[in-house]
Structure 1
Amino acid sequence: MAGRIRDEDVKRVREAARIDEVVGEHLQLRNAGGGNLKGLCPFHDEKSPSFNVAPAKGLFHCFGCQEGGDVIEFVKKVEHLTFSEAVERLAAQYNVELRYEEGGYTPGRQQGQRTRLVEAHRAAAVFFAEQLGSAEAMVARQFLADRGFTQADAEHFGIGYAPAGWEHLVRYLRGKGFTPQELLTGGLASEGRRGPMDRFRGRLMWPIRDIGGDVIGFGARRLRDDDNGPKYLNTPETPIYKKSQVLYGLDLAKKDIAKSGRAVVVEGYTDVMACHLAGVPGAIATCGTAFGEDHIKVLRRLLMDSDGFRGEVIYTFDGDAAGQKAALRAFEEDQRFVTRTFVAVEPSGMDPCDLRQTKGDQAVRDLVDSRVPLFEFAIRSRIEGHDLGTAEGRVAALDAAAPIVADIKDQALRHTYAVRLDSWLGFLDERFVVGRVAQLARWKRERATKGAAAESAPPDRAAAAPRGSRPADGRDTRQTVQREVLKLALQYPGLVAWAFDGFGVDEFTVPPYAAVRTAMDTAGGLNGPAVDAGWIPAVREAAADDTVRALVTELAVEAPYQSRVPDDVYAGGCLVSLRVYSADARIADVKSRLQRLDPAAAPEEYAATFRELMDLEKYRRSLLDSGAAAL
């Protein structure tokens, strides 16, 4: 069993791993003001960015789904790792050596499963790359040369060769300390009659990397006629490889995609290579599966695909029937994007790899630049094959294309394409075509409404409520002030330390806020040593449970209500407002007690209570007159 990573090493990983760099590997971040950054949340679908990163505090928080934490929590959640695996992942990335409580550093025994599988794939990639220079791999080198790729190109993309024997890779990795079970679990080996055998044999190998650059799988191309396997053999589903979420070349393309706001989706590994080498560095491809919902989520985050930031996704498909079918599949998923989507098809049917080899790099760039909107391509694909010279042919084409137009969610865009459809068909009756499209759209909405009503029960409001940790009612100014004071105490402790520790937990009337206040006391208070040695982590560590810890993170990331950086005047005003509310509550309580007392029956108690009331009202007036000086 793996030993526990030492606390001081976990701390060193947190300090070394810059949260903006780590998060930036998965989504595009833009300035959110106040030193914070924002982007589209990787943990839920959203149209506007609500995912905030505070680099100075080492924290992230999504104000949409309420996920939050530090850099380790982010890696743990986004890559579905255990805590130890997330620490190991970051330690490897930032060159932090880890020690374990049981003793020294023994990777084979103590590292998490993901780390072990990634290291096995890294070693396999090195092995395959070395084998590409062998005599047996001549057929692989010839395959690359025939497609216009040099040895330097192969090295740049990490291409290799899997020998034709049964146990070459297995023996190599066993010699590196990897177990048979690890090779089977990682999809590098298959179960044979005498134990694990190589999964990939006699094939050209492309390493498939995740967005962070770790090798997590392979794509293998058949080279010989006597190979009875599929043309392309990919790594099976494993704990680290999910083909529905992986895009080949994304590790190389992500920076250009984020910078240019353009992603080019091609169909194969060689097409990605050709595009990158031709000057289209935003090219990516799926790995043995259709471009689907999970791929779209990945691209949306990199493109900052929101109402405020729109980029381009360009699909390149072969010009044949299969390519048109792929484009129509893309159309079905397309409207998950806010981004504009296009199709680029070479008239003679060549893919980017063939085009580059035949006509050069400029031809590949021109192909991408000649893109047409995906809606237009899908509509025209439905029109093709109909005889538009006859009335019957035009009606048949309308019946084929109108459902495509009716499926466009944007009403203005739907009307625009309905008008265009009329001109493409040659009806010269715009109202007729627009009306037909509108009728189909209306029928579709009615069917969807009826289906939803029949299949779903009334929602449980309690169950449907968001999981968020924000307990305050935004209309309750007392709760708003409590929240603001806690934010100041976490983010700008120097502004409130002179008075904050004197505020009691009972002055925070919202239970979650009182729990955060208690955590601050447990962490030593604003005048304790923790303020100068990692204040927010100390409060998070002192939190009573994960719910309170999540609220601490949220308060530490959320910007103050005023737009400028808080100063002494603003902080003092917040503290005074909180104390005034506390005084009001105590005054109301004392008045209630006073009304219940009989002056004749208990004169001394009545007099003491009356004096208490006078003192409180005097104190309240001083707060209003003198402000922070009265605290």
Structure 2
Amino acid sequence: MKGNIPADFVHQVVAANNIVELIAKYTTLKKTGKSYMGCCPFHHEKTPSFSVSPDKQIYHCFGCHASGDVIDFLSNYNGLSFVEAIEELAALQNLEVPYEATNRHGQKTDVTNKIYEALVAASKYYRWCLRYDRNKTEVIDYIKSRGINAKTAQHFQIGYAPDKWQSLYDLLVKQYSLDVLYQAGLIVSREKGGAYDRFRDRVIFPIRNRKGQIIGFGGRVLPNKDAKPKYLNSPETPVFFKNQELYGLYELKLQYKNPDQVVVVEGYMDVVGLYQHGYPFAVATLGTALSQTHVKLLFRTTEQIILCFDGDAAGQNAALRAFEMVLPFLSQNKKARFLTLPQEHDPDSYIQAVGLELFKQEVLEATPAADFFIQYLLAKYTLSSADSLAELIEELKQILKNVPESAYTEIIIQQLAKAVDTSVLQLKRMIAQKNSDKKMLNNERMKRWVLNTNKLSLIEKALSFVINMPSEVHIAFQGKEEIEFECVTEQHFILLDALKIIRQNNGLSSALLVQMLSEKYEQFRAYFYQLLQLPIELQAPQLIDELVAMLDKIIKQACQNELEHLILKAKTSILTATEKQRMQNILHKIRKT
């Protein structure tokens, strides 16, 4: 972290940057009275409705209602954080940002700068290897076989990581510390000491942030090689957060500030391949599912997102998750469409097969988001089956439960109500009931607790044991089946999370476990420390035996509660196939224990 920026400096930056001069770099402005008018850079329009006031140093669009100062403009237009916007504005005026930082933070800032430098040096080395390494002919032949020419390779700064364990390490360790190289994601530490290069014998694709800085790499294994995985990305680092970055977005915005649409694909080879064949409007997620941060970033760039997925089951599941992410953001000025490819194709191979013009036409005719979801549900479920119909409605509830009402949700409900032969009002009531139940449960779960040491509940005793001896719990539960049960209170959720954290991390102290739990349950930090203060009279072996018995009882209670709920529901409505199977599993578990 770079530390906070003093409020006085923020004021100085705002005063130093003339908003008219800044915005005129991005859209044409014409003086009209005391203000300047132009077409809004945040949405497409033919008649100017975007006003910039030099007196007030603010902007406002009468069409999409975007407004703000120079910081807001840069943040929204370029997708920058507040700090990034301040840094860019300060650079325009040759001002140095005076971060409010302690020595510790100051050292981190220096490390961050070194990380950026090391990543640039690594990129230069990878590009050098593509030209001069002994395997260059094989690598270049592969790149050419994918239809990528030298100009495109240069545009994306494609390189090659040589088939050696420490070539990059040996080069960079002369300039950068092991800590910097490790934090940059360039090397991997050996268990017995030393380190080796993360990327070896792979085609390398530098990943840039919105400012053009290299923040990581993607590596694609060469054909006929045994290395796995096929695609390898840098790990998350102090400068690289996968759910906040999109591969190819920087390169796209170099050419097009406000493209009519952006196609989201799954891999960087797809982005490069589409660009090579004349379609430069593609970006890719970096080994993660599409996130809401991605969606916000995309809608700052364009008004229309095209989500392009393979036609196989994995591609369709990814498409459904993407639909859940984009639905809350859809509006008249923010649209999403879905393009499903034939199973044997990815975007790169498909554009080669059908050609640029047909691909562009299919992008234009991609399925609107609401239609995609409706088609998905009607294809997945059999409307003539009561069980299947109930499952359809349940999935609809899950997708819409946290989404505000909009024209899109209205269309989905209307069309599905017609398809399942029920009224729109009835379908809305079912969804509203689900949301109401969920809200009541959340309100109950989020109550703050005060520990009554004279009357501990069973779940509190178990939590106390787990928090007080995480290392012993890790050893005792290593290799055993993961514990699961239906959660009723917040304590149940925390107990499951605590056990999961302990299972995944050996050698945890109680303090570190509380710290990790507090990141998710911040309001209960004091409660955790109360649990830590409870007197523990037994030795570790006896405590583990007690804990196992407690967990067994908690699981039985949870199963019994869930079974009673299902039995009660079965008396008033039809259980879904999933619920019937769940009931059988619970009965089997109860008989077994």
Partner amino acid, structure 2, of 1:448: K
* In the alignment, structure 1 residue 153 sits paired with structure 2 residue 172: no
Match of 1:529? none
Please give the secondary structure, in 2, of the residue aligned with 1:439. helix
CA displacement at 1:329 relative to structure 2: 0.7
The CA deviation string for residues 62-94 of structure 1, in whole angstroms up to 9 with x for no partner, is 9xxxx99xx9xx9884349xxxxx86x889x77
CA displacement at 1:22 relative to structure 2: 13
Match of 1:190? 188
Tell me the distance in 2 between the aligned counterparts of 1:279 and 1:396.
48
* In the alignment, structure 1 residue 321 sits paired with structure 2 residue 320: no
* In the alignment, structure 1 residue 221 sits paired with structure 2 residue 226: no
**Aligned ranges 1:34-73 → 2 under 5 Å:** 34-35=53-54, 36=57, 38=59, 52-54=68-70
Paired residues of 1:271 and 1:353 also in contact (CA < 8 A): yes
Structure 1 residues 315 and 22 mapped into 2: Cα distance closer, same or farther (>3 Å)?
farther
Paired residues of 1:121 and 1:216 also in contact (CA < 8 A): yes
Tell me the distance in 2 between the aligned counterparts of 1:399 and 1:149.
50
CA displacement at 1:261 relative to structure 2: 4.4
Structure 1 residues 113 and 32 mapped into 2: Cα distance closer, same or farther (>3 Å)?
farther
CA displacement at 1:211 relative to structure 2: 0.4
Match of 1:351? 346
Match of 1:33? 52
Tell me the distance in 2 between the aligned counterparts of 1:111 and 1:417.
49
Please give the secondary structure, in 2, of the residue aligned with 1:443. helix
CA displacement at 1:235 relative to structure 2: 0.9
Please give the secondary structure, in 2, of the residue aligned with 1:447. helix
Partner amino acid, structure 1, of 2:122: A
The CA deviation string for residues 357-398 of structure 1, in whole angstroms up to 9 with x for no partner, is 22222233233122111222222222225556xx33xx5554
**Aligned ranges 1:58-457 → 2 under 5 Å:** 77-79=82-84, 112-133=110-131, 134-175=133-174, 177-192=175-190, 193=192, 195-223=194-222, 225=224, 227-254=226-253, 258-303=257-302, 311-338=303-330, 339-386=334-381, 391-392=384-385, 395=386, 398-403=389-394, 405=396, 407=400, 409-410=404-405, 412-421=407-416, 425=419, 429=421, 432=422, 434-456=424-446
Paired residues of 1:205 and 1:221 also in contact (CA < 8 A): yes
CA displacement at 1:253 relative to structure 2: 2.1
Partner amino acid, structure 2, of 1:438: K
Tell me the distance in 1 between the aligned counterparts of 2:443 and 2:382.
41
**Aligned ranges 1:488-527 → 2 under 5 Å:** none
Partner amino acid, structure 2, of 1:399: A
The CA deviation string for residues 306-363 of structure 1, in whole angstroms up to 9 with x for no partner, is xxxxx21110010111111011111222223132211011245522101122222223
Structure 1 residues 61 and 283 mapped into 2: Cα distance closer, same or farther (>3 Å)?
closer
CA displacement at 1:196 relative to structure 2: 3.5
Paired residues of 2:328 and 2:404 also in contact (CA < 8 A): no
Partner amino acid, structure 2, of 1:361: L
Structure 1 residues 419 and 17 mapped into 2: Cα distance closer, same or farther (>3 Å)?
closer
Tell me the distance in 2 between the aligned counterparts of 1:404 and 1:38.
43
Paired residues of 1:383 and 1:400 also in contact (CA < 8 A): no
Partner amino acid, structure 1, of 2:271: V
Paired residues of 2:258 and 2:301 also in contact (CA < 8 A): no
Please give the secondary structure, in 2, of the residue aligned with 1:287. coil
Query: How many residues in Structure 1 have an aligned counterpart in Structure 2?
Result: 401
**Aligned ranges 1:523-542 → 2 under 5 Å:** none
Match of 1:600? none
Tell me the distance in 2 between the aligned counterparts of 1:143 and 1:397.
48
Partner amino acid, structure 2, of 1:254: K
Match of 2:466? none
Tell me the distance in 1 between the aligned counterparts of 2:388 and 2:261.
33
Using CA pairs under 8 Å that are at least 6 residues apart, name the structure with larger relative contact order, 1 or 2: 1
What is the aligned-residue RMSD (CA, Å)?
4.5
Paired residues of 2:42 and 2:66 also in contact (CA < 8 A): no
Of stretches 184-193 and 402-411 in structure 1, the one that deviates more from structure 2 is: 402-411
The CA deviation string for residues 558-608 of structure 1, in whole angstroms up to 9 with x for no partner, is xxxxxxxxxxxxxxxxxxxxxxxxxxxxxxxxxxxxxxxxxxxxxxxxxxx
Paired residues of 2:413 and 2:427 also in contact (CA < 8 A): yes
Tell me the distance in 2 between the aligned counterparts of 1:23 and 1:457.
51
Partner amino acid, structure 1, of 2:359: V
The CA deviation string for residues 174-216 of structure 1, in whole angstroms up to 9 with x for no partner, is 45x3333221121111224553321111111000000011111
Of stretches 267-276 and 345-354 in structure 1, the one that deviates more from structure 2 is: 345-354
Tell me the distance in 1 between the aligned counterparts of 2:51 and 2:282.
29
Partner amino acid, structure 1, of 2:390: D
Structure 1 residues 248 and 23 mapped into 2: Cα distance closer, same or farther (>3 Å)?
farther
- Structure 1 unaligned blocks of 5 or more: 3-10, 41-46, 81-85, 101-108, 304-310, 459-631
Paired residues of 1:186 and 1:238 also in contact (CA < 8 A): yes
Please give the secondary structure, in 2, of the residue aligned with 1:314. strand
The CA deviation string for residues 423-445 of structure 1, in whole angstroms up to 9 with x for no partner, is 6x4x6x4xx25355223222222
- Structure 2 unaligned blocks of 5 or more: 3-11, 27-39, 44-49, 99-106, 449-593
CA displacement at 1:159 relative to structure 2: 0.7
Q: Give the greater-gyration-radius structure (CA).
A: 1
Paired residues of 2:274 and 2:348 also in contact (CA < 8 A): yes
Taking structure 2 as the reference length, the TM-score comes to: 0.58
Tell me the distance in 1 between the aligned counterparts of 2:377 and 2:117.
48
Structure 1 residues 48 and 29 mapped into 2: Cα distance closer, same or farther (>3 Å)?
closer
Tell me the distance in 2 between the aligned counterparts of 1:110 and 1:417.
49
Percent identical pairs in the alignment equals 28
Paired residues of 2:312 and 2:343 also in contact (CA < 8 A): no
Structure 1 residues 198 and 326 mapped into 2: Cα distance closer, same or farther (>3 Å)?
same
Paired residues of 1:257 and 1:263 also in contact (CA < 8 A): no
